[in-house]
Chains A and B, each alone.
Chain A
Amino acid sequence: MIHSLFLINCSGDIFLEKHWKSVVSQSVCDYFFEAQEKAADVENVPPVISTPHHYLISIYRDKLFFVSVIQTEVPPLFVIEFLHRVADTFQDYFGECSEAAIKDNVVIVYELLEEMLDNGFPLATESNILKELIKPPTILRSVVNSITGSSNVGDTLPTGQLSNIPWRRAGVKYTNNEAYFDVVEEIDAIIDKSGSTVFAEIQGVIDACIKLSGMPDLSLSFMNPRLLDDVSFHPCIRFKRWESERILSFIPPDGNFRLISYRVSSQNLVAIPVYVKHSISFKENSSCGRFDITIGPKQNMGKTIEGITVTVHMPKVVLNMNLTTTQGSYTFDPVTKVLTWDVGKITPQKLPSLKGLVNLQSGAPKPEENPSLNIQFKIQQLAISGLKVNRLDMYGEKYKPFKGVKYVTKAGKFQVRT
């Protein structure tokens, strides 16, 4: 299925390759480089490239390309999902998925790839199972290893693979039994010039961290389950029970996992927690322009909005920007033309603003279009859709677990057109 994998960095070096069947020469990547050259920007390299004898399916993650070579007809989503899983695993093991981290841990990377795929087919990809096969590197462990000479490879087979329930290992034991749920919602929105919503949608997930002994059987109910438009489930959830009673009933995997992901779409009204007042203008036939934006809270349900950052890709003709801000700090990179304003928290008494002059290349025509603003923010203890967990019950075990639910709302692709 997946013949070979090449890891390529932004400057076009192939710094790692792995072949699961016969060796495919590096020259196959030339087609990829060709496409990269044509795309001008690294972001724009198409994910599927055809060559005379192969298909190259690639993903772009953290400034790295994972390029897989395919020789038979495959479901493309399957390969893309798998490549993302590989990247996730690296992230999980090394804390970051970067060229340096991969090069430092090249031996572990090979071990991982060997276990994740055999003969081109995915085998073990669950993080907790992999971690029992190959222990992740830690500073402490590498010190211990170097003293005792022990290895970071488990000597025993992962027990999870022998359990009746594939996602949970048998014989789990904890002294403190805890179950935590994080309800994380991201708002994707496009706001037009006048401040009205062109498009808005909430993408939500419930991530769980379950540390419970034995074989607990949990059921989680919501105050308002009808809110959820379109839900996809972790395989552990009993689907029939959800369909009939709108209750999530499941035997959880051990450790961290994503319980459900859901969507609350434009049919229901999506609250937009911030507004932006903006005036950006470039004068005809002069080499300067004005820039003025102010951010304020709106529909924030009484919670504080924090962690605000505004990113603006200014037009190419902008040379420099002279701005003053009432709050936070800003940077402008004259090479990439990206303006970043780190705002922080909004205090309703004094709204943060950023204004000043824009210097343009002299003689160049004035930009046709104003730039869009990309906004990041975070609201703690609030699920903007209004979703609330009602209760969590546990069956099958006798002890009393500690339970907790945390809510957080973030901006996803939140964009304001000016």
Chain B
Amino acid sequence: MPYLGSEDVVKELKKALCNPHIQADRLRYRNVIQRVIRYMTQGLDMSGVFMEMVKASATVDIVQKKLVYLYMCTYAPLKPDLALLAINTLCKDCSDPNPMVRGLALRSMCSLRMPGVQEYIQQPILNGLRDKASYVRRVAVLGCAKMHNLHGDSEVDGALVNELYSLLRDQDPIVVVNCLRSLEEILKLEGGVVINKPIAHHLLNRMSKLDQWGQAEVLNFLLRYQPRSEEELFDILNLLDSFLKSSSPGVVMGATKLFLILAKKFPHVQTDVLVRVKGPLLAACSSESRELCFVALCHVRQILHSLPGHFSSHYKKFFCSYSEPHYIKLQKVEVLCELVNDENVQQVLEELRGYCTDVSADFAQSAIFAIGGIARTYTDQCVQILTELLGLRQEHITTVVVQTFRDLVWLCPQCTEAVCQALPGCEENIQDSEGKQALIWLLGVHGERIPNAPYVLEDFVENVKSETFPAVKMELLTALLRLFLSRPAECQDMLGRLLYYCIEEEKDMAVRDRGLFYYRLLLVGIDEVKRILCSPKSDPTLGLLEDPAERPVNSWASDFNTLVPVYGKAHWATISKCQGAERCGPELPKTSSFAASGPLIPEDNKEREQELPDSGALMLVPNRQLTADYFEKTWLSLKVAHQQVLPWRGEFHPDTLQMALQVVNIQTIAMSRAGTRPWKAYLSAQDDTGCLFLTELLLEPENSEMQISVKQNEARTETLNSFISVLETVIGTIEEIKS
């Protein structure tokens, strides 16, 4: 964002940089350069002094060099032609006696990010890989990855990759880790760096020498290694044991994940590991850094999915302190909800109750929902707490409590009585759409148990004109009709008024249609209305479905210590898809020739065919291969059920047809070679009821038509028709591709 006046600044700096007096005075010269950098970091466009800065790079002052290189890395993409001038100096610095200068120059050169720089950096990088100072080797190793990126990810330099693999044996631990990082990037398209037995063992032995970042990353790379024997596996686990106690939570989590993955066939080892990391995880949950806390809590939830009782004895750790940020509080409430058991339920509910009156409405509401969740198991206590909350007469609390009640009576019918007693009076404290809908639904479905239900609904009917939410009106219509069935005398009049309003005055089409529908339904007769509207009032079995079953550890082990527990898998999938699309975008011309010879059936057609069998209510069973003999016998014993002629023009490839038919589960029993005329093929298919379809295809190129004869072992026209339409589509598609 160059703002006004930046031109003057550039002009002035340019003058200063050119001034020979300033150039002679090292200190003043450096100060001017520092000013340039400062402006640059503030977002001013400083590319105007590029030429002068390049000149300034020829100096013995290492600070000045650093600053100039920093400048060049920022603006080189804008001024590639001028940047080439600097390369000479950089190359010279790459053979400076001081390893700091060599490393600095090499790093800057690799970060220039301009086209054409590759040819200059290749030699310095190769020299750097063999440098005797580890500092330079570290830079050079990562430089390989940068160079590869500049090449546009296209070709992989085999010699370079081999060199990097051999550098895995370097004595400097950071060089080793950098090699892994670099190889991973270079070999991205081939699935990353390969960890075989010697490499894995080498890395395992070096683990203790690495810094925490290196350890965390190596643990991640080791996930790819599959130990050959049980003995080796347990040796590895023993070796890594101490990392479960590391002071860095990142390393602990990395080690845990490795343990979980390696021991995937030994559930007791997995459980054991999870017990051992309980301590470190809990420590992270109460860490000073709230961000660490948050991520640790997300992982605690993940573990609880498999081992519900795992943290139950530590439930107090998850009590919220009021100064914590919301995202932590919300996670803690979720965790509390999941680790409730008979012993701690009293304390947990007590604690949650305290949160319900929190200053933040969001947090209070999520605490109420949490109580609702616990209510599925400990109904009585929770309903009592929720009822007490209604007494506070706070809008944001009442609406959520009523919504919780609605969900609860559906799952736990035993609490209906208590809920019905609690409801009267809360209509005064509900203003939002969700809350009103929930209340009206409850009044409609359980109205016969609530004495004043019709009068509450009457209020809603009175004010229906000023009601802003159409969903509330819909709910009101249904509820009133339901209540009318159980208490006709009290409701008849207002139902009439409501229907009149909805049909005559309402502007929302959905509400109007619903009104008309109910009106006509009433005309049919009350029995019919009852049959349609009086469905079951609860469904406890749904609770079992909603309760997340204990998931095996292996189902999430590979997601452990990634962003998945924090943000869910779906999102990464979309991100990587976007990136994939971006990557493919510019390369389209290259791949177009491939696409033509590629898949036999274009993507969209394939989908169509797979959908078709379903739409015709016909399910063809895959892999129902008949023997030729059996086919022949059946074919001769049956009569032709259907015969049809399709137009066919041009060339014919039997293989294409065979594959296409395979996709829709039609098997080819026999066919003539390509080019024979007339060409014949025999097909068979069977649907899920056991009905056999035998087909003969006869192609006569002279007449440019294909004759289809279908025989069926059970005479059923419906399935026959759908089978024929499937067949037609396939043949039609094949023809489309050709033309």
- Chain A positions within 8 Å of B, measured between CB atoms, are 1, 15-17, 21-23, 39, 41, 43-48, 50, 52-55, 57-60, 71, 73-78, 80-84, 106-107, 110-111, 114, 118-119, 121-123, 125-126, 133, 146, 149, 151-157, 161-162, 166, 188, 190, 198-199, 201, 203, 229-235, 239-240, 258, 260-261, 263, 265-266, 313, 315-316, 368-369, 372, 374, 413, 415, 417
Q: Which residues of A contact B142 (CB under 8 A)?
A: 118-119, 121
> Is B325 in the interface zone, CB < 8 Å from A?
yes
Residues of A within 8 A of B172 (CB): 161
B295 touches A47 (CB 8 A): yes
Given A41-B325, A121-B181, A122-B211, output 9 extra A-B contacts at Cβ < 8 Å: A17-B41, A22-B113, A39-B326, A48-B295, A50-B575, A77-B284, A190-B319, A313-B323, A315-B359
Interface flag for B517 (CB, 8 Å):
no
B201 interface hit (Cβ, 8 Å): no
**B213 and A151 contact, CB distance less than 8 A:** no
* Residues of chain A with a CB closer than 8 A to B316's CB: 198-199, 266
* Alpha-carbon distance between A232 and B139 when the two chains are bound, in angstroms: 32
Q: Report yes or no: B561 in contact with A50, Cβ–Cβ below 8 A.
A: no
Q: How far is the CA of A105 from the CA of B567 in the complex (A)?
A: 36
Number of interface residues of B (CB under 8 A): 95
Q: Which residue of A lies closest to B177 (CB)?
A: A121
Shortest C-beta distance, B236 to chain A (Å), equals: 16
Interface pair A190/B321, CB less than 8 Å apart: yes
Known: A60-B290, A369-B358. A232 touches B62 (CB 8 A): no
B133 touches A157 (CB 8 A): yes
A78 contact from B67, B98, B216, Cβ within 8 A: B216
Given known pairs A198-B316, A369-B357, the reply for A81 and B113 (CB within 8 Å) is no
Q: A60-B290, A114-B70, A153-B62 are in contact. Are A316 and B359 (CB under 8 A)?
A: yes
A338 to B63, CA, bound (A): 47
Q: Which of B217, B282, B322 contacts A372 (CB 8 A)?
A: B322
Q: Which of A21, A234, A372 contacts B247 (CB 8 A)?
A: A234
Task: List residues of chain A with CB within 8 A of the CB of B250.
Answer: 75, 77-78, 81
Query: B248 at the A/B interface (Cβ < 8 Å)?
Result: yes
In the complex, whether B38 has a CB less than 8 A from a CB of chain A is yes
Contacts known (A59-B289, A230-B283, A415-B323); A235 close to B212, Cβ less than 8 A = yes
Option from B42, B133, B138, B291 in Cβ contact (under 8 Å) with A80: B291
Please measure, in the bound complex, the distance between the C-alpha atom of A21 and the C-alpha atom of B316, giving whole angstroms: 44
Q: B252 contacts which chain A residues (CB < 8 A)? A: 232
B553-572 interface with A by 8 A CB criterion: 561-563, 566-567, 571-572
Give min CB distance, A261 to chain B, whole Å: 6
Write the nearest CB–CB distance from B278 to chain A, whole angstroms.
8
CB-based nearest A residue for B37: A107
- With A and B bound together, what is the CA distance between A369 and B355 in angstroms? 10
* Between-chain CB contacts (< 8 Å), 5 pairs: A46-B294, A157-B100, A233-B247, A235-B211, A368-B392
Contact B247 A55 (CB under 8 A): no
Residues of B within 8 A of A (CB): 26-27, 34, 37-38, 41-42, 61-63, 66-67, 70, 77, 98-100, 107, 113, 133-135, 138-139, 142, 145-146, 149, 172-174, 177-178, 181, 208-213, 216-217, 220, 241-242, 245-250, 252-254, 279-280, 282-284, 286, 289-292, 294-296, 314, 316-317, 319, 321-323, 325-327, 351, 354, 357-359, 392, 394, 561-563, 566-567, 571-572, 574-575, 578-579
**B100 contacts which chain A residues (CB < 8 A)?**
133, 153-157
Q: Is the CB of B254 within 8 A of A75?
A: yes
State whether A199 and B319 are in contact (beta carbons under 8 Å apart), knowing that A55-B563, A77-B561 are contacts in the complex. Answer: yes
A48→B286 contact, CB < 8 A: no
The smallest C-beta distance from A131 to any residue of chain B, in angstroms, reads 15
Which of A59, A73, A76 has the most CB atoms of chain B within a 10 A radius of its CB? A76
Q: For B254, give the chain A residue with the smallest CB separation.
A: A75
| Residue picked from A48, A81, A313, most chain B C-beta under 10 Å | A81
Which of A16, A22, A75, A133 counts the most B-chain CB atoms under 10 A from its CB?
A75
Complex: how many Å from CA A155 to CA B65?
A: 12
Contact partner, B291, options A59, A123, A190, A234, Cβ 8 Å: A59
CA distance A234 to B212 in the complex (A): 10
Residues of B contacting A71 with CB < 8 Å?
579
> Closest residue of chain B to A54, judged by CB?
B575
Q: What residues on A are CB-neighbors of B245 within 8 Å? A: 231-233, 239
Chain A's closest residue to B242 (CB) is: A239
> Please, which residue of chain A has its CB at the minimum distance from the CB of B561?
A75
Task: Decide: A73 near B572, CB < 8 A? Known: A157-B100, A203-B286, A266-B316.
Answer: yes
Closest to B564 in A: A73
| CA distance in complex: A75, B558 (Å) | 12
Q: A106: which B residues are within 8 A, CB to CB? A: 37-38, 41
B213–A82 contact, CB under 8 A? yes
A73 B291 Cβ-Cβ under 8 A: no
Q: What is the minimal beta-carbon distance from B155 to any residue of chain A, in angstroms?
A: 20
Instruction: Determine if A413 and B61 form an interchain contact, defined as CB atoms under 8 angstroms apart.
Output: no
**A185, B625: Cα distance in complex, Å:** 74
Known: A151-B63, A232-B247. A76 touches B70 (CB 8 A): no
Chain B residues lying within 8 Å of A84, measured Cβ to Cβ, are: 289, 291-292
Least CB distance, B279 to chain A, in whole angstroms: 3
Do B325 and A44 touch across chains, with their CB atoms under 8 A apart?
yes
Contact of A73 with B70 at beta-carbon distance under 8 Å, contacts A80-B291, A121-B178, A368-B394 already known? no
Instruction: State whether A374 touches B249 (Cβ < 8 A).
Output: no
Taking a contact as CB atoms under 8 Å apart, the answer to whether A235 and B208 are in contact is yes
Given A75-B216, A75-B562, A263-B279, decide whether A107 and B67 contact each other with a Cβ distance below 8 A: yes
- The docked-state distance in angstroms from the alpha carbon of A58 to that of B327 is 13
Residues of A within 8 A of B567 (CB): 48, 50, 55
Find out whether the CB atom of A232 lies under 8 angstroms from the CB atom of B326: no
Closest partner residue, chain A, to B63 (CB atom): A151
Residue of A50, A230, A233 near B571 (CB, 8 A) is A50
B286 engages A201 (CB within 8 Å): yes
Contacts of B282 in A (CB 8 A): 230, 263, 265
CB distance from B348 to the nearest CB of A (A): 11
Could you tell me if B247 and A258 are in contact, using CB atoms closer than 8 angstroms? yes
- What is the minimal beta-carbon distance from A187 to any residue of chain B, in angstroms? 12
Chain B contacts for A231, CB-based, 8 A: 245
Q: How far is A77 from B491 in the complex, measured between Cα atoms in Å?
A: 60
- A231 CA / B572 CA spacing, docked (Å): 35
Question: Which residues of B are found within 8 Å of A153, using beta-carbon distances?
Answer: 62-63, 66, 100
